[in-house]
Structures are given as structure tokens and as C-alpha cells.
């Protein structure tokens, strides 16, 4: 996986409006088709990326339409990395509540990060937590 050559790169910048998630779905479809990503991995990419973008819009940028969310796709022969970055203050990604334990079942916070970590092969928060990389193995 190290030193893999990037075979495709795409990016999109959206305003922090929930309805812009459909633009993310479209670019995921385009990338998946061009990179010939199988349907199982496609489903994981779609759900994890939508969760990350939703978190960026709602929690990161507080649905402030003057702030944007940038989504970048980098595809190699072996994996796809998706970077989602918002203009928010970030968060302590080491302290995300586990939504599966009984006292958090009713809590809506932490579900997106939990889903991302269980669907992706790797989830890396960069900087102050306002940029996340989700990585999926393609081989």
C-alpha cells in the first residue's frame, strides 16, 4: 500500500447545506464507476462518506452556508482514500462516545464516527479534527 501511484483524483466543494449531500452521492457514483469499484466496497464508501459529510455540515460547520465542505477522492490500484474537510473548529476525536453501550443508545452523537470506523479499513483524523481520511482497500 505504500508508494502506490494515484490513478485518479477528484474533488468537490459544497456549501454546508444538507441537500448538497446528493452532489456527494453523484461524485461517489462517478468515482466508483471509473475505478470499477465492486458493489460491496461501493456501499461502504457511500455510507461512510455520507456520514462524514453530514458530520462536517451539521457539527463542523453548524450548517453555516458561508462555510464549505471539501471532499477529495484519491484512487490507487490498491485503495481509495476519501478526505472530508470542513471549516469548523474541529473536535476531540479521541473522546467520541460509543453509541452501542446502553447509556448512549438514545444519544445521537457518535453514530457517524462509529459507522465510519466499522465500514472503512482505516479512519484517520487530521489536525484539529476538521479533516478526516477514510480509506478502503480495493484488493
Q: Which residue segments constitute the domains of the chain, with CATH numbers given?
A: 6-137 (3.30.565.10)
Contacts of 32 (CB under 8 A, 6+ apart): 42, 45
Collapsing DSSP to helix, strand or coil, 117 comes out as helix
Q: Residue 109 — very low, low, confident or very high, per pLDDT cuts 50/70/90?
A: low
Which helix (DSSP H) or strand (DSSP E) does residue 48 occupy?
helix 39-55
Q: Mean pLDDT score of the chain, rounded to an integer?
A: 91
Cell of 6: 494515484
Q: Dump pLDDT digits (tens) for 58-106.
A: 999 999 999 999 999 999 999 999 999 999 999 887 777 675 667 766 6
Q: Dump pLDDT digits (tens) for 21-41.
A: 999 999 999 999 999 999 999
Amino acid at each position: 500500500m505504500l508508494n502506490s501511484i494515484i490513478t485518479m483524483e477528484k474533488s468537490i466543494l459544497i456549501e454546508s447545506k444538507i441537500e448538497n449531500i446528493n452532489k456527494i452521492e453523484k461524485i461517489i457514483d462517478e468515482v466508483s464507476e471509473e475505478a470499477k469499484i465492486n458493489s460491496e466496497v461501493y456501499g461502504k464508501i457511500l455510507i461512510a462518506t455520507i456520514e462524514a459529510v453530514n458530520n462536517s455540515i451539521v457539527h463542523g460547520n453548524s450548517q453555516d452556508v458561508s462555510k464549505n465542505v471539501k471532499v477529495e477522492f484519491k484512487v490507487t490500484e490498491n485503495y481509495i482514500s476519501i478526505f472530508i474537510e470542513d471549516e469548523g473548529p474541529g473536535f476531540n476525536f479521541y473522546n467520541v462516545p460509543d453509541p452501542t453501550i446502553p447509556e448512549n443508545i438514545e444519544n445521537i452523537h457518535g453514530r457517524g464516527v462509529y459507522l465510519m470506523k466499522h465500514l472503512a479499513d482505516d479512519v484517520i483524523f487530521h489536525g484539529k479534527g476538521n479533516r478526516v481520511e477514510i480509506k478502503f482497500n480495493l484488493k
